[in-house]
A and B are shown apart, each in its own frame.
Chain A
Amino acid sequence: MSIVSRVARNPIAYGILAVVVLVGIFSTLSIVPETRQAVIVRFGQPDRIVNRYEPGVPFGSGSAGLMAHIPFVEQVVWIDRRIQNVEMERQQVLSTDQLRLQVDAFARYRIVDPLQMYISARTEERVSEALRPILASSLRNELGRRPFAALLSPERGQVMDNIQESLNLAARQYGAEIVDVRIKRADLPEGQPLESAYERMRSARRQEALTIRAQGAKQAQIIRAEAEAEAARTYAEAFGADPDFYDFYRAMISYRSTFGVTGNNADQGEAAIVMSPDNEYLRQFRGQR
């Protein structure tokens, strides 16, 4: 009852007291989340760092949590602890074989030295802004030293490593560490380069089409020839039994065909045959013995 009633009797005074205490608490204590690092600056002089990023330390074991600092004397500067993204604007890159390429790349970095970062850049945005042109120039340098095909080969990994290395040198000045550099897109620029690439693709396809057609024709011819050979063999096997009889047999078929008996060329029946009486057919006709 005593505290409560005292408060009840003198609410304004206690209210003011409560506000003062709360303001005091809020200006003294800060919550440092896992996603941020805090640089505490005393009279403009960086004093200490809370929840600094250490590689390999799992969440929960860092110094995130409640943090006390002297109000008005010490100032807290918040710096992101997470991996940041810096995206480069589209760059036109000229390879050694004079091919133009439009490249989109991105880099990921993390601020590992908040103090250095606070001194040299103050905010994350300025770190990104500072890294962007460096990323672009090192990309141009690195790709400009290689042929176009290298970009599309396993060598690309080496290119990226080189870029990351040179970018890391610059990033260290800002207390940042490059986690990864990657090419997002590498395209042929619109217009003539793209058109000529298309034309090359078209001609490749035309060539393929012609090849396919020719191959088809070749196959077809082979099939026909094989069939003919097969037929010839079949004929030879059968007719080879008695060539003399075959001669006779085939001649008979041939006569019928030629003189329009088996064929449907009825109007050709006007063939005329001049026979000598010595003809074999007329042997009996003459009554010879």
Chain B
Amino acid sequence: MTLFFPERVPIKRAMSVLTGLGARLGAIFNSEGRGPWGGRGSGGSNGNSSGGGGDDDGPKNPWSQPPRKRPSGGQTGPTALDDLLKRGRSQWGGSDGRGPNLPTFGGRPIWFWAIIILVLLWLFFTSFHLIGPQERGVLTRFGNYQGTFEPGVSLSWPAPIDRVQVIDVDNIRTIDIGGGGENAENRVLTGDQNIVDLAYQIRWNIKEPQNYLFQISDPDTTIREVAESAMRAVMARITLDEAIGSGRAEAEQRVQVLMQELLDGYGAGVLVQGVAIEEADPPAAVEEAFREVSAAQQTAQTYLNDARAFAQQLTAQAQGEAAAFTRVYEEYRLAPEVTRRRMYYETMEQVLGRVNITIVENDGVTTYLPLQEVQRQARQQATPAPQTGETP
């Protein structure tokens, strides 16, 4: 192509081309405005310097001064001009002999070299591709997919022919769905027709960069939609209780598998790394009822705890009493009559020592006396005096 400017063009030749170009420009100018230069040429000289200034870096007005490089030329302005013209015409004629002799004027080589450097840079930057360790380069030649560059330095044709799209494949991208705040509940229907408020995150990266680039018109949106669809499909198979509690991990797993299936079906070139359910709560509107359940669980637990405490107490008491009886009984068996009597008297001592005892000889009559009433009245009258009325 024309852009392929050979690097090996001899420098001198290139310079001569450029100087020749400058001379030609001067010639054109000259042929147009010959008149003013014939005289003093104040305006003309200005015009000339602007027109051909590029080829002359020395004097500002080359026609009023003797050219250093060409001593054979005329001394006066018009003569120098003629010489320039001649030079220009000879260049037009295509005599090569003069080229090497011509001086290298300042302006042209600079922009010439600039172009060379730009072309080289262009070649360099569009032919060498440095692919990072987490990246892949997708090579297309005139749009046709040619292959994928692995990490490292790769070489391709320069830009208009080959194009390399570098894609970060290992970078794990995340998509967050739900969890937008109070008003943005992500309500999902569960299998038992309940509603759960879900927030989850999808982590994915690129498996096949060429598929990612060429297969789907908007891969990111597609992944998001597939995620939503898969999550709802999975949630529709499980109950609310599972969604909130025990079934979460399994649901995540199933969403991941389903998503991967769908995306592979599209040939999306995407690998779903994982699905994480961040929140699975009942909707705010029914949260109170859910709290009631956990309160009920606490209450039930309290009942159980109380009952267990009572049971412990009762059992321990029974064991204690039984043990006490067994001990006493063991002793009793050694001397039954004596022990029995001793216990009887001891108990009676303690009992009767604190009660009022009335012994009635003839129980036929006295039982009807309101003895207790009498005693009580007596005691009340005597209060707070010591109870003298008591008789053993």
Contact = CB atoms under 8 A, between A and B. Distances in A.
Given A220-B304, A221-B307, A65 B20 contact: no
B216 A276 contact: no
A238 B366 CA distance: 44
A234 B359 contact: no
B228 interface: yes
A60 B17 contact: no
Contacts of B285: 195, 198
Interface in A17-50: 18, 31-35
Contacts of B314: 224, 227-228, 230-231
A149 B236 CA distance: 10
Contacts of A260: 354
A29 to B, nearest CB: 9
B307 A34 contact: no
Given A34-B143, A188-B189, A269-B355, A82 B214 contact: yes
Nearest to A239: B325
A90 interface: no
B140 interface: yes
A152 interface: yes
B358 A274 contact: yes
B371 interface: yes
B20 A272 contact: no
Contacts of A34: 140, 143-145, 210, 213-214
Contact of B311 (A180, A224, A249): A224
Which 10 A-B pairs give the minimum distances between C-beta atoms? A216-B300, A227-B311, A231-B318, A238-B322, A220-B307, A209-B296, A205-B289, A65-B144, A33-B143, A223-B307
Contacts of A32: 142-144
Nearest to B360: A274
A212 interface: yes
B32 interface: no
Contacts of A232: 318
A271 B266 CA distance: 98
B143 A231 contact: no
12 contacts: A34-B145, A35-B214, A60-B145, A83-B215, A152-B236, A198-B285, A227-B312, A238-B321, A242-B329, A249-B343, A272-B372, A282-B359
Interface residues of A, number: 101
B254 interface: no
A151 B358 contact: no
A235 B318 CA distance: 6
Interface in B170-221: 187, 189-191, 193-195, 210-211, 213-218, 221
Interface string B140-154: 111111110000000
A220 B215 contact: no
A11 B379 CA distance: 147
B344 interface: yes
Contacts of B286: 198, 201-202, 205
A187 interface: yes
B361 interface: yes
Interface residues of B, dominant DSSP: helix
Contacts of A273: 352, 355-358
A208 interface: yes
A179 B303 contact: no
A184 B225 contact: yes
Contacts, number: 304
Interface in A104-124: 106, 108
Nearest to B332: A245
A64 interface: yes
A76 B239 CA distance: 55
Contacts of B366: 274
A213 B214 contact: no
A153 B237 CA distance: 6
A145 interface: no
B304 A219 contact: yes
A206 interface: yes
A270 interface: yes
Given A205-B292, A220-B304, A273-B352, A234 B319 contact: yes
B265 interface: yes
Nearest to B208: A59
Nearest to B299: A213
B350 interface: yes
Contacts of B332: 242, 245
Interface string B227-240: 01100110011001
A204 B379 CA distance: 68
A216 B303 contact: yes
B300 A215 contact: yes
Contact of A152 (B189, B262, B323): B189
B347 interface: yes
A152 B296 CA distance: 30
Given A183-B229, A217-B303, A241-B329, A223 B308 contact: yes
A33 B195 CA distance: 46
B21 interface: yes
B249 interface: no
A213 B308 contact: no
A182 interface: yes
Given A198-B286, A209-B296, A274-B371, A65 B142 contact: yes
Interface string A144-171: 0000110111101000000000000000
A272 B189 contact: no
A114 B286 CA distance: 52
A175 to B, nearest CB: 16
A198 to B, nearest CB: 5
B112 to A, nearest CB: 11
B229 A31 contact: no
A249 B325 contact: yes
B222 interface: yes
A276 B293 contact: no
B345 to A, nearest CB: 8
Contacts of A8: 17-18, 20-21
B358 A272 contact: yes
B295 interface: yes
B24 interface: yes
A59 B141 CA distance: 12
Contacts of B292: 205-206, 209
